[in-house]
Amino acid sequence: MDVPYFDLKAQYAALREEIVPALERVCENASFILGPEVTAFEKEFAAYCEVKHCVALNTGTSALHLAMLAAGVGRDDEVVTTANTFIATAEAISYIGAKPVFVDIDRATANIDPRQIERAVTNRTKAIVPVHLYGRPVDLDAILKIGADRNIPVIEDACQAHGARYRGKRIGGFGMAAGFSFYPGKNLGAYGEGGALTTDDDRVAELARTLRDHGSTRRYYHDLVGWNYRMDGFQGAVLRIKLRHLDDWTARRIAIAKMYRQILKGSTVVVPDDSPDAEAIYHLFVVYVENRDAVRTALEAKGVQTAIHYPVPVHLQKAYAYLGHQAGAFPHTEWAAERAISLPLFPELTDEQVRYAAEALVEVAGGK
Ligand SMILES: *Cc1c(COP(=O)(O)O)cnc(C)c1O
């Protein structure tokens, strides 16, 4: 049986009749940049995330960058974040000229370890950026308390976690601001690049709106040196349609994750715990095995495609060599990077495909 790692074509086939007329509407109105579809999406996504403001942007990386600026992070300041993430989390810090201060994960969850944050904070720390990695919320109570006690803003990297909940409330409104990505492969994916900043803070929202559009609120009058971080009209139209389906897709992702957990239980495959305080939305289903590369090859031979998120932790990337971290600096993150396998996970997978992939993994990884 073939189990592809990921496939967006089936989803388009199901949505085609909604999407095509919406894209035509954008063409007919010639509202290619921002415009009514984007404004409507901002309202709908803010409501979905249970926050006051959503500012639509061109990418999730831009959202994190603007959040960093709104937090007042400056050159040579420090920002504490996880070494186990996609590089964009760190890049947004670097765009300011600030220093990413990486910390290790809690191996039980693969998410940033609040005790490590506490140790890494100094009087130059200007923000803390936890990542809800793979769609699984971080320990927000502990992290928000560290921030509140020291007056350091918390910025959620929510790029993989659209709709996830922590103690019953959607993530995206817990810190000063949050960054979301609508890269096509994300749970809520655009048909091109896309991102958003969410916040309950009027000042942060207004600053992000001004900075995304060349520092202007009135055309050709520029109060600040800004960026061109605007969302396209097409993306607003697509995202509005897809947002209406998101909870159904998420329910299917959760059901698939549950099947994986059931079949992998008692095997040698390590599956990270789900926090009892949180509802994960499973952007990815990542497990840990010994001899990872051989296991992936054997799965491939059985028709099961997999991926690795991420093969090289951020502190060991060449781009961050100047920070001087050596292998061994963050043992849990490095343990994970050597063993992680992302299993196929998208709503259109059938139960048969999920069962086949999970059973194949148990077999090739050394059984129960
Ligand atoms: C995708 C992603 C980003 C960046 O989003 P883009 O829209 O690709 O710029 C940032 N952080 C994490 C954790 C991501 O997965």
Does residue 282 share a domain with residue 172? no
Does residue 143 share a domain with residue 228? yes
Ligand 1 atom nearest to CA at 62: 9
The residue among 240, 259, 290 that closes a domain is: 240
The residue whose CB lies within 8 Å of the most ligand 1 atoms, and thus the one to mutate among 81, 89, 91, 95, is 89
CB 259 within 8 A of CB 319: no
Does residue 103 share a domain with residue 213? yes
Dist. CA 116 → ligand 1 center (Å) = 23
β 177-181/155-157 pair status:
parallel
Is 3 inside any structural domain? no
Q: What is the pLDDT of residues 267-324, one digit of tens each?
A: 999 999 888 899 999 999 999 999 999 999 999 999 999 999 999 999 999 999 999 9
Ligand 1 atom nearest to CA at 181: 7
Of 91-100, 133-142, 146-155, 272-281, the least confident: 272-281
Q: Whose CA is nearest to atom 2 of ligand 1?
A: 159
Contacts of 338 (CB under 8 A, 6+ apart): 292
Does residue 276 share a domain with residue 210? no
Does residue 125 share a domain with residue 168? yes
**Average pLDDT of the residues in 40-63:** 98
Domain that holds residue 285: 246-365
The residue among 178, 206, 240 that closes a domain is: 240
Q: What is the pLDDT of residue 276?
A: 86
**The domain spanning residue 105 has which CATH number?**
3.40.640.10
Q: What is the pLDDT of residue 337?
A: 98
Does residue 199 share a domain with residue 265? no
Dist. CA 81 → ligand 1 center (Å) = 14
Is 88 inside any structural domain? yes
Does residue 190 share a domain with residue 281? no
Q: What is the pLDDT of residue 232?
A: 98
Contacts of 272 (CB under 8 A, 6+ apart): 108, 109, 110, 136, 286, 287, 288
Ligand 1 atom nearest to CA at 186: 1
Dist. CA 118 → ligand 1 center (Å) = 25
Dist. CA 22 → ligand 1 center (Å) = 26
Indicate the pTM of the whole model.
0.98
Q: Whose CA is nearest to atom 6 of ligand 1?
A: 60
Confidence grade of residue 103 (pLDDT, cut at 50, 70, 90): very high
For all residues of the chain together, what is the average pLDDT? 97
Give me the phi and psi of 199, to 5 degrees please.
Answer: -165, 155
Q: What is the pLDDT of residue 273?
A: 84
Q: Whose CA is nearest to atom 14 of ligand 1?
A: 159
Please enumerate, as own/partner, the contacts of 268-277 that have beta carbons within 8 Å and a separation of 24 or more: 268/365, 268/366, 268/367, 268/368, 269/361, 269/362, 269/365, 270/339, 272/108, 272/109, 272/110, 272/136, 273/108, 273/109, 274/136, 275/109, 275/136, 275/137, 275/139, 277/137, 277/139, 277/141, 277/166, 277/167
Ligand 1 atom nearest to CA at 183: 7
The count of structural domains within the chain is 2
Pocket of ligand 1 (CB under 6 A): 59-61, 85-86, 88-89, 131, 157, 159-160, 181, 183, 195
Ligand 1 atom nearest to CA at 160: 15
Q: Whose CA is nearest to atom 5 of ligand 1?
A: 60
Q: What is the pLDDT of residue 99?
A: 98
**The domain spanning residue 328 has which CATH number?**
3.90.1150.10
Tell me which amino acid residue 107 is: R
Does residue 231 share a domain with residue 259? no
Does residue 197 share a domain with residue 250? no
Is 1 inside any structural domain? no
Does residue 46 share a domain with residue 140? yes
Is 337 inside any structural domain? yes
Does residue 284 share a domain with residue 229? no
Q: Of 89, 70, 69, nearest to 80 (Cα)?
A: 89
Q: What tokens does 231 get? A: 């969302």
Dist. CA 206 → ligand 1 center (Å) = 23
Does residue 340 share a domain with residue 308? yes
